[in-house]
Amino acid sequence: MRILTWLFRGFIFFTLFAFALNNQQEIVVNWFFGAHWRAPLVIVVLVAFAAGIALGVLAMVPRWWRHRRQTQRQVRTPPPPTPAVPESATTSPAELAFDHPPREGL
C-alpha cells in the first residue's frame, strides 16, 4: 500500500512539474488604475491557488473558534448527576422476557 501511495504522489508531482514547464511564457495581469504585473503563467496560477486556499481558511476561522468555545464549555461543565435508582426497581432483560414460567409441551 505504501508503494501505491508513493507512486500516486510521484505521478502528481511529475504531472504538476510538466504543467509548470509547459507554461513558462510570461503574461501580464492587469490591475486597477493601470497597474500591471508581469510573471510566468505558472506563478500566476500558483498565486491564485494559494490566495483561494487562504481565503477559504479565513472564512472557516470564525466557525472553528465557535466550535472550540463550545467544546471548552462542555469540558469545563461537569455532566448533571444521574438520579440513583434503587436496586429493587431495576429488572434484568431475562426477568422481563420470562415473567411467567414456560409451558411444558402443548
3-state secondary structure 25-57: CEEEEECHHHCEEEEEHHHHHHHHHHHHHHHHH
Is 7 a residue whose pLDDT tops 80? yes
CA dist 17 and 13 (Å) reads 6
Domain assignment of residue 73, given as a range: 10-78
Q: How far is CA 35 from CA 28, 38, 49, in A?
A: 10, 10, 21
* C-alpha atoms less than 13 angstroms from C-alpha of 93 in its C-beta half-sphere: 0
Classify residue 59: in a domain, yes or no: yes
Classify residue 84: in a domain, yes or no: no
Residues in the chain: 106
- In this predicted model, what pLDDT tens digit does every residue of 30-89 receive, in sequence order? 889 888 889 888 888 889 989 999 999 999 999 989 988 888 887 777 767 777 666 555
pTM for the complete prediction?
A: 0.51
Q: Are 47 and 37 within 8 A, CB to CB?
A: no
Question: pLDDT value at position 97?
Answer: 56
Classify residue 91: in a domain, yes or no: no
Classify residue 40: in a domain, yes or no: yes
Amino acid 42 reads: V
Question: pLDDT value at position 60?
Answer: 94
Residue 27's DSSP bridge partners are 39
Residue 37's DSSP bridge partners are 29
Is 6 a residue whose pLDDT tops 60? yes
Classify residue 31: in a domain, yes or no: yes
Classify residue 90: in a domain, yes or no: no
Question: pLDDT value at position 72?
Answer: 83
Specify the number of domains making up the chain.
Answer: 1
Better pLDDT: 94 or 67: 67
